[in-house]
Every structure is written in structure tokens, then in C-alpha cells.
Amino acid sequence: MQQLEHEKRDFGAFQRLPKLEPGVNLVTGEEKIVRQLVAQRLHSRGGECLWIDAKNNLYQKPSIPEYEKEKLLAEALGKIVELSETRGIPAVVTQVPGELQWMLETVASQEIKARSTSHGPSVETDDFTPEAYPDGNGFQTRVNHWTRETEVVKLGTN
């Protein structure tokens, strides 16, 4: 949590993607938004990331016997978590609706919710909400940004 706060302060209201920690970062909603933001971050700052598309879909196929589906997906997710933690890099995993979706949600250390808005992409987690969006002529800020800024000014003058 402290690293997340540090990252938010570094980029202020214009931070658009939460810090990705090692472990499974599960994407829900419009994955193309997260894919673009992750690519931009890796390009500008460097680093590595495992990107795994629709992992649960591989094990929901009718050709796989019912008694093996959960076991195979559990093994695959275990390998992803192990690789992510061993290498110290985040794993970003997308999903498709289906019977095994709950397994991805169970191992996820963070859920990244992505959607398009009239002010640009919105990407949120339980611990992160962006405070500004590009709107074509600059940036549109959210009320919580100015509330926080006002609190900082009040604290600084006491």
C-alpha cells in the first residue's frame, strides 16, 4: 500500500494505471485499455510483465474431461504465480466468462477494472482510482483530486 501511495504522489492526478506488483493482476472489463496502458508504462519505464490472455478459456473446452479441468487450471495458475514471484514481475491475466472464472478471481492479488468513459479510459482497483482523464483539450480532474489537494494545503498551513 505504501508503494502505491508513493507512485500516486509521483504522478499526481495524472497517474492512470495502478502499480502492478508480482502476483496475478486480473483484468475485468475492457482489456484493451489495460493492455495499452501497460505497454506505455513498460515502454517509458522499462521492466517486464507476463501478459496471459483468457487463461480460463483453455480449460473450459468440451474436449477436456470435467474431472481434469480444475486440476489443470490450478496447476497452470500455480506456475504463473511461481514465475511472477520468482522473477519479481507482475502477471496480468485476462479472463472470459465461464465455469472456471472463479479460480482466476481466487488467485488474483489485485483486480483491475477497466472501462471507457466520456473522459477517456478509467482503470480502477480496490486501492486505486485515477483522478484525471485526458479529454482532448487537456485533462478533466475528479473532485477527489481537489479534495485531497485542499486537505494537503490545510495540513501544510497548520
- List, as one string, the DSSP characters of 26-52: EEEE-HHHHHHHHHHHHHHH----EEE
Specify the pLDDT at position 41.
Answer: 80
For the chain, residues with pLDDT lower than 70 are 1-16, 118-120, 129-158
For residue 16, which of 109, 136, 115 has the smallest C-alpha distance?
115
Specify the pLDDT at position 72.
Answer: 94
Specify the pLDDT at position 143.
Answer: 55
Specify the pLDDT at position 141.
Answer: 58
* Other Cβ atoms within 10 Å of 58 Cβ, number: 16
- 99 is written with which cell numbers? 465455469
Strands 23-29 and 50-52: unpaired
Q: What percent of the chain has pLDDT over 90?
A: 29
DSSP string covering 84-141, please? Answer: HHHHT-EEEEE--SSTTHHHHHHHEEEEEEEEEETTEEEEE-SS----EEE-SSSEEE
Specify the pLDDT at position 150.
Answer: 57
Specify the pLDDT at position 1.
Answer: 38
Distance CA 74, CA 77 (A): 5
Specify the pLDDT at position 126.
Answer: 82
